[in-house]
Amino acid sequence: MSLPMSEGLRATVETCVFCPKLCRWACPVAEAEGRETVTPWGLMTLLDDVGRGRPLDADAAAIWAHCTRCGRCQQVCKHDNDVPGAILDARAAAVEAGVSPPGWRVWSDAPHPVSPSLDALPEGGPTVVLAGRADEARVAAALEVLAAAGWRDPARPKGGVRDAGHRALSAGRPVAFAAAVEALAAAVSEAETVICLDAEDAEALRFDYPERGVWSGPAPRVMHLIEAVHGRLEGLEPVIAGDVLYLDACRLGRGLGIVEPPRAMLKSVVGGALREALTAGDDGGCCGAGAGLAAVDPAAATAVARDAADIEPDVPVVIAGACSAHLRAALAPRPVRSWVELIADGLPR
């Protein structure tokens, strides 16, 4: 099976194919793995080959698994070429052809962590907390921080919905993503504000959902947890005496543009210096867990994580969002702290 290309996809692919790999250095996966095949140019050249008749097989799909959708290639491209979007098309074609890596579906369908704190919230209401893939510790800390910031009576989405379906989209399953979109829209239909614990959900709600015309009425205000509490917490106390390394989650910094607020609050609970990674802010790299890479090639995902934190190896790492679990496994025994848990520990008692 080949891959039919629309005029728009063909133009996107050819922009990359005829470029002399100018964004090669910007791809965290290519830098960590050290091979041209998984550079943005390599991924798009493969897409071009399949579009021109090369068989769409499991080998091709396995290569496309090495894009974490961090978006750094598109950020540095002078043409703003949408490589991550093109790779989504390629993945969807691989799924339709039945040649996709099994890890994509396993990752996409993985059950959400159990969270008694979330389950204890009422269903539906003006303010809904979308917990995403947060575990109990992160959910409990988030609810504590929200309460301290003055958010009263938060609720959970109706029907047990936990996220915006972005994993289905990344796994090449647009039909499953469309179903997830419909389910979440119904689950928060009465909400005025949706507070997301994962940047991936906030990004999907803020950008993907409006493009699909999801909201039949006024769209709810979508906020990431950091936006919901920034400037509303008083009396934070230091809970770490020494320095920490803060890593920007790609979807938080580059995707949502939330760069300074997490740093400002972190400085209140860290007694030492706040160290920066080699790539930081909206130019931040990637932890390696994005778009299911860790489910398909754990070694590659671990290498990306280690590159991201390759500075001051004895300094604890702090990350905001869903990357914390992957980083803990990849960087062990180096300490990795969840941003919101650290902020919750610093609340005045």
Residues 123 and 225 in one domain: yes
In a domain, 238, yes or no: no
Grade residue 2 by pLDDT with cuts at 50, 70 and 90: low
Average pLDDT of the chain, as a whole number:
94
Do 96 and 121 reside in the same domain of the chain?
no
Query: Measured between alpha carbons, how far is 20 from 75 in angstroms, rounded to an integer?
Result: 17
Q: Which of 180, 196, 229 is the last residue of a domain?
A: 229
The helix or strand, by DSSP H or E, that contains position 247, with its residue range, turns out to be: strand 244-247
pLDDT tens by residue, 55-75: 999 999 999 999 999 999 999
Same domain, 149 and 213: yes
Please state the pTM of the whole predicted model: 0.95
| Domain assignment of residue 149, yes or no | yes
- Total domains in the chain come to 3
Q: Provide the percentage of residues in the chain whose pLDDT is more than 90.
A: 85
Asked if residue 161 belongs to a domain, the reply is yes
Domain final residue pick, 184, 199, 229? 229
Is 30 in the same domain as 94? yes
What sign does the CA torsion over 275, 247, 202, 128 have? Answer: negative
CA distances from 145 to 101, 241, 264, 342 (A): 39, 21, 15, 10
Q: What is the DSSP string of 78-104?
A: TT---HHHHHHHHHHHHHHHT-S-HHH
Instruction: Give the integer Cα–Cα distance in Å for 126 and 219.
Output: 12
Contact 177, 146 (CB under 8 A): no
Nearest residue to 172 (alpha-carbon basis) of 113, 97, 72, 73: 97
Does residue 133 fall inside a structural domain? yes
Side chain identity, residue 308 = A
Indicate if 120 and 216 belong to the same structural domain: yes
pLDDT digits over 103-151, tens only? 999 999 999 999 999 999 999 999 999 999 999 999 999 999 999 999 9
110 in a structural domain:
no
Inside any domain, residue 196: yes
Q: Are residues 328 and 253 in the same domain?
A: yes
Domain boundary among 46, 67, 100: 100
Domain range spanning residue 138? 116-229
Residues 123 and 82 occupy one common structural domain: no
pLDDT over 60 (residue 21): yes
Whether 31 and 63 map to the same domain: the answer is yes
In this structure, is residue 108 part of a structural domain?
no
Maximal C-alpha separation, the chain: 65
Any domain includes 105: no
